[in-house]
Amino acid sequence: MTTTHDTIPFHEAIAAFDPVLGLETHVELGTASKMFCSCPTAFGADANTQVCPVCLGLPGSMPVVNRTAVESTIRMGLALNCQTAEWCRFARKNYFYPDMPKDYQVSQYDEPLCFNGWLDVTVETEDGPRDFRVEIERVHMEEDTGKLTHAGGATGRIHGADYSLVDYNRAGIPLIEIVTKPIAGAGALAPLVARAYVTQLRDLMRALGVSDVRMEEGSLRCDVNVSLARPGEPWGTRSETKNVNSLRSVERAVHSEIERQAAVLLSGGRVIQETRHFHEDTGRSTSGRSKEQAEDYRYFPEPDLVPVAPSREWVEELRGTLPEPPSVKRARLRAEWGISDHDFQTIVNAGALALVEDTVAAGVDQASARKWWTGELTRIANDRGVELESLGVTPAQILRVEELVATGALNDKLARQVFDGIIAGEGGVDEVVAARGLAVVSDDSALLAAIDAALEEQPDVAEKIRGGKVQAAGAIVGSVMKATRGQADAAKVRALLLERLGVQE
Ligand code: ADP
Ligand code: MG
Ligand code: ZN
């Protein structure tokens, strides 16, 4: 069933309704082996080469819990200010779909390992930065499912496909799921709050070292719940947009869903409880499965696994391994870099905090690190609809570019072309410079030869300059810049030209 509704402009939607959000984030942990067996978790292997009787659910196989996954979940829970259960169990979530060979997924149900926490996020508003406390309902462990590929159809979905392929390499990889309590009161900032929350969650995972969170490999996926209510009235019915897998898409999914639901409600309709699919290309979602009748997963405690009962000593020991809390870290970096709230927030909003930090650590001054990441590189990432990390530009490459700019071998314009080349996969900084012939022409004799050629081509202009009309020099400088394909320093060309003609400025 596909229903399409008109949408109304965002500001009109917000004038009439208050949005409520709920974010369910799944992250693949960076453990070497799977959740309940010793199969490797490396990405990109041939299909069905990283499987064993346990993760294929063969009769008689017995699962064993991965200690590192439990440890990572507790550390994440502690970093999110959660309580840690003294005793909890895994549960079987039963369903019949071939992405799980066992016909159930091992998850946690009413006994999550961590619960009742919060994360403070900051968003930039017209009146400066504003903090929101996002409350965390639960952090629990589960196993990922296999990957289905529906072949032969136009859309890649099962409808219209000729056949489907299954790859169980991903089945059984440890996931943690982080579920927020309903987030109300953000109003027009709701899309930004959602994005800021997922960005900060991602940065926290990386800081903890529990996952490297490669979004382009699908290792972080977000289900975005949205509902609208008239001010002062009870919360409305929510929709759940599934598997939103980039920071930018989280923001867009909230934005477009507010516009869609407002149009439904203002035209006298009713929002139905359903799952929706977000489409990167259009920035809109389409209707998926109706959830009016809650599915019955027949959850029951997993009989093959022992309960998890972390001792209080262990939990305190793990608390001791936590990195600096994110808000403390942000305050420290802002002070170290000596920049304004606004400039700092620009970095955070671009999702570039960790990248700028790494680039400064690599030896680049903070102003240049900020300039590249929040300027040119953010522009390219937005154009391509990808995350900054996916561009493949490293802090060491920025350092190298800055060295070449400092020696005068590159100027700003050429440096941008170097990044273009790196992103196009043409190699590192020096390779791109060599292959594209990008270097400022600073050799005086080469510049003088170009100047002489231009003077010869435009003798009338040369005469004017000799006669004292210094303004005419622009035409010759322009020709030289053209001849050197923009790779000369214009001020230097001008100085050499005037000297050549014996004219004073
Ligand atoms: P489900 O299994 O249906 O996905 P969960 O409890 O796992 O349910 O997650 C529901 C998410 O939706 C949570 O983040 C919750 O805070 C949020 N939520 C609950 N009620 C609303 C509402 N009225 N509007 C928006 N989000 C909501
Ligand atoms: Mg859900
Ligand atoms: Zn296995």
Give DSSP secondary structure letters for 46-93. Answer: PTT-S--TTTTT-TT------HHHHHHHHHHHHHTT-EE-SSB--EEE
The CATH number assigned to the domain holding 493 equals: 1.10.10.410
Q: Which of 404, 436, 468 is the last residue in one of the domains?
A: 436
Structural domain containing residue 475: 444-501
Contact assessment for residue 393 and residue 381, using Cβ atoms and an 8 Å cutoff: no
Both 417 and 296 in one domain: the answer is no
Domain annotation covers residue 392: yes
**Which mutation among 107, 116, 225, 240 tests ligand 1's pocket best, with the greatest number of atoms within 8 A of CB?**
225
Residue 353: the pLDDT is 92
Give the count of domains, the chain: 3
Ligand 1 contacts CB of residue 135 (under 6 A): no
Residue 398: the pLDDT is 97
Task: Look at residues 152, 51, 63 and name the one whose alpha carbon lies nearest to residue 104.
Answer: 63
Both 24 and 171 in one domain: the answer is yes
Which residue, judged by its Cα, is nearest atom 24 of ligand 1?
A: 227
Ligand 1 contacts CB of residue 238 (under 6 A): yes
The amino acid present at 408, given as its one-letter code, is G
Neighbours of ion ligand 2 (CB under 5 A): 24, 223
Give the C-alpha separation, 381 to 498, whole Å: 43
Structure tokens at 232: 């002062």
Cα-Cα-Cα-Cα dihedral sign, residues 201, 204, 208, 214: positive
Both 424 and 451 in one domain: the answer is no
**What atom in ligand 1 is closest to the CA of residue 236?**
23
Residue 325: the pLDDT is 84
Ligand 1 contacts CB of residue 225 (under 6 A): yes
Both 311 and 456 in one domain: the answer is no
Q: Crossing angle, helix 395-406 and helix 353-361, to 10 degrees?
A: 60
Helix (H) or strand (E) holding 138: strand 128-143
The whole model's pTM is what? 0.81
Give the C-alpha separation, 104 to 86, whole Å: 26
Residue 447: the pLDDT is 83
Both 293 and 426 in one domain: the answer is no
Domain annotation covers residue 109: yes
- The Cα diameter of the chain in Å comes to 98
Residue 292: the pLDDT is 64
Contact assessment for residue 55 and residue 41, using Cβ atoms and an 8 Å cutoff: no
Residue 436: the pLDDT is 87
Helix (H) or strand (E) holding 221: strand 220-229
Q: Which of 271, 291, 317 is the last residue in one of the domains?
A: 317
**What atom in ligand 1 is closest to the CA of residue 180?**
14
**Which mutation among 17, 24, 110 tests ligand 1's pocket best, with the greatest number of atoms within 8 A of CB?**
24
Ligand 1 contacts CB of residue 22 (under 6 A): yes
Q: How far is CA 243 from the centre of its chain?
A: 14
Both 30 and 151 in one domain: the answer is yes
Cβ–Cβ contacts within 10 Å for residue 337, how many?
19
Both 343 and 450 in one domain: the answer is no
| 223 Cα–ligand 2 center, Å | 6
Both 99 and 192 in one domain: the answer is yes
Both 211 and 306 in one domain: the answer is yes
Domain annotation covers residue 3: no
Structure tokens at 242: 């599934």
The amino acid present at 412, given as its one-letter code, is D
Cβ–Cβ contacts within 10 Å for residue 163, how many?
9
**What atom in ligand 1 is closest to the CA of residue 227?**
24
Contact assessment for residue 246 and residue 215, using Cβ atoms and an 8 Å cutoff: yes
Contact assessment for residue 85 and residue 111, using Cβ atoms and an 8 Å cutoff: yes
Place of tokens 């919060």: 118
Structure tokens at 256: 């477009």
- Rounded to the nearest 5°, which phi and psi values hold at 17? -135, 155
Domain annotation covers residue 182: yes
| 102 Cα–ligand 1 center, Å | 27
Strand positions, DSSP E, 144-198: 147-151, 163-167, 174-180, 183-184
Give strand pairing partners of 33: 40
Q: Average pLDDT by consecutive 10-residue portion of the chain (505 residues)?
A: 68 97 96 98 94 96 97 98 98 93 95 97 85 97 95 83 95 97 97 94 92 82 97 96 90 97 95 92 87 80 96 98 88 94 88 93 96 95 86 95 88 90 94 85 79 90 87 89 81 87 81
Both 110 and 248 in one domain: the answer is yes
| 62 Cα–ligand 3 center, Å | 11
Domain annotation covers residue 2: no
Give the C-alpha separation, 484 to 341, whole Å: 42
Both 274 and 147 in one domain: the answer is yes
Contact assessment for residue 312 and residue 101, using Cβ atoms and an 8 Å cutoff: no
Q: Which of 284, 317, 350 is the last residue in one of the domains?
A: 317
Give the C-alpha separation, 323 to 352, whole Å: 19
Both 48 and 153 in one domain: the answer is yes
